[in-house]
Amino acid sequence: MLQDIAEEWQVTATSTPFAGAKTSVRTDEVVMPDGGTAKRDYQVHPGSVAVVALDGDGRVLVLRQYRHPVRQKLWEVPAGLLDVPGENPLHAAQRELYEEAHVKAGEWRVLTDLYTSPGGSDEAVRIFLARDISEAEGERFEVSEEEADMEYARVPLAELVRDVLAGHVHNTCLVAGVLALHAALSGDGVDALRPAEAPWPARPFTA
């Protein structure tokens, strides 16, 4: 069994040349295995959650919104930041599913955990599987900025898998989540997935 391990090389100096509203850029001077040092620049990120919401007909809820850094409108799954340090990721995922899609779910599991770009960012993402989904009660959450222009669809899982492999869709959480769900259904089944409150060392949380 392969398993990543925790390790931290010595940092002799650090600075923050940029600090934004949600993320920042840090520069660390790190001691290398040969005894020398090297500078490493990376984005400091609070972490994110994403939700693969599967309905009773085997369709996945997806949305499309504009992403300025890549100059594209990308098909994605509902996702968002961990806005509060130590926030329970399940609660954050439930919030994002409600705010972005006005949907609630009766059953939750962890699909997979990942680092989006570990060579340049410390962003950690937990991707959940949500089943037994239905429309949430009350008024829809009022969206703004990029989210005000979102499109919505429910797409059969098999079709999404084909779109991923054909290079038609590129969002990290959609690609990883769809392939993880396909693998789970083709293997031991979703009941073998980790529970929704499973520990997450990359972003420890309280219940």
Amino acid at residue number 122 = D
Q: Which of 76, 99, 147, 159 is catalytic?
A: 147
User: Token pair of 19, please?
Assistant: 């600090």
> What's the rounded Cα separation, in Å, for the pair 30 and 140?
48
Token code pair at residue 27: 């520069």
CB count within 10 Å of CB 101 equals 23
Q: Quickly list DSSP for 124-155.
A: EEEEEEEEEEEEPSSSPP---GGGGG-EEEEE
What is the full DSSP assignment across 56-106?
TTSEEEEEEEEEGGGTEEEEE-SEEE--STT--HHHHHHHHHHHHH-EEEE
Assess whether 87 carries a catalytic annotation: no
Active site (catalytic) residues: 147
